[in-house]
């Protein structure tokens, strides 16, 4: 691994968001956006395969979205986006912020900010690794009990 980015990831919106939740993670510069998405969803205990998701740039949470496509417009074929490495994303264009949108209906949004400079990786540490977290993890389905049919006879 060539280096490590420290990322602050904040849940900034979602249907059932009750209070702020944030975590700090260290990730290799080669980590792909798809791997970052999996890491984020694992941290908040959301189901990875249930919903559409996408990364985009914007000036703020309600700002105009710029998608990672040649023309900046929405493209439902995001395989190339999920294969992009963090080193291709950072540094971000001036005034832009990186967002991850999960479940277009519930609009779970996470703002991802790189903190500081790239640092060397440490031996014997498995990356990505969470350094700290604050707040209560959001509940993907609120206080609803999700029935999956497991109790059927």
- Nearest 5°: phi and psi at 50? -80, -30
- Quick one: fold of 4-135? 3.10.290
Local structure of 43: helix, strand or coil: helix
Q: Would you state the pLDDT for residue 52?
A: 86
Q: Answer with the residue of higher pLDDT: 147 or 17.
A: 17
Which residues have C-beta within 8 Å of that of residue 16, sequence separation ≥ 6? 106, 138, 139, 140, 141, 142, 143
CB 14 within 8 A of CB 46: no
pTM score, whole prediction: 0.86
d(CA 7, CA 75): 26
Mean pLDDT (the chain) is: 87
């Amino acid at each position: 691994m060539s280096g490590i980015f420290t990322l602050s990831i904040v849940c900034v919106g979602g249907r059932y968001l009750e209070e702020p939740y944030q975590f700090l993670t260290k990730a290799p510069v080669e980590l792909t956006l798809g791997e970052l998405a999996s890491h984020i969803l694992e941290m908040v205990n959301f189901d990875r395969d249930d919903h559409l998701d996408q990364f985009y740039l914007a000036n703020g949470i309600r700002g105009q979205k710029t998608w990672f496509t040649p023309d900046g417009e929405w493209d439902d074929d995001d395989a190339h986006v999920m294969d992009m490495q963090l080193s291709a994303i950072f540094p971000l264009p001036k005034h832009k912020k990186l967002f991850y949108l999960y479940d277009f209906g519930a609009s779970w949004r996470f703002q991802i900010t790189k903190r500081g400079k790239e640092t060397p990786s440490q031996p014997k540490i498995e990356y990505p690794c969470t350094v700290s977290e604050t707040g209560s993890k959001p509940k993907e389905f609120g206080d609803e009990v999700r029935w999956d049919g497991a109790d059927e006879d």
